[in-house]
Amino acid sequence: MSEERQAQGIPEEVRKVARFLAFFAATRTYRPIDSLSRPFSFDDVVLAITDAMRQVAVYRPGELVEVRRGLEEYKVEVPSVPPEPVVQRFLEFCREDLAHAKVAAALALAYAPVLIKRERGRERERA
């Protein structure tokens, strides 16, 4: 099956939430992603999304946040919180099937490199 065809099976709202969650992967703050990757109930999904939105709300969208891990230093671009209809639809998908939360968590890890900025504003080169 082609990559494009596989991508068509993932709802756009799941992808949008994953792009938002990529911030946490890029900053290595994995708690929301970990919670979504192994939800035991729909309540776990709601709590993880609520927590993620709350954590990002202290920043301005587009702001660059400094991250330091050992000798590594870089900046991560803060995403916008997804609009209410996107979050609502994502939660509806997750209520139907918790696998949507797992897919969003996995995609967030894949999207993270796009948010990482090196000094001089360059995007991180992919390995």
Share of the chain above pLDDT 90, in %: 77
52-100 residue pLDDT tens: 999 999 999 999 999 988 888 899 999 999 999 999 999 999 999 999 9
Contact between 93 and 11 (Cβ < 8 Å)? yes
Alpha helices in 1-127 (DSSP H): 3-8, 12-26, 31-37, 42-56, 84-96, 99-111
> Is the domain defined by 12-121 classed in CATH 1.10.10?
no
Q: Where are the domains of the chain?
A: 12-121
Residue type, 98: L
Q: pLDDT at residue 8 above 80?
A: no
Q: Pick the residue with more confidence: 70 or 30?
A: 30
Q: Are 123 and 117 within 8 A, CB to CB?
A: yes
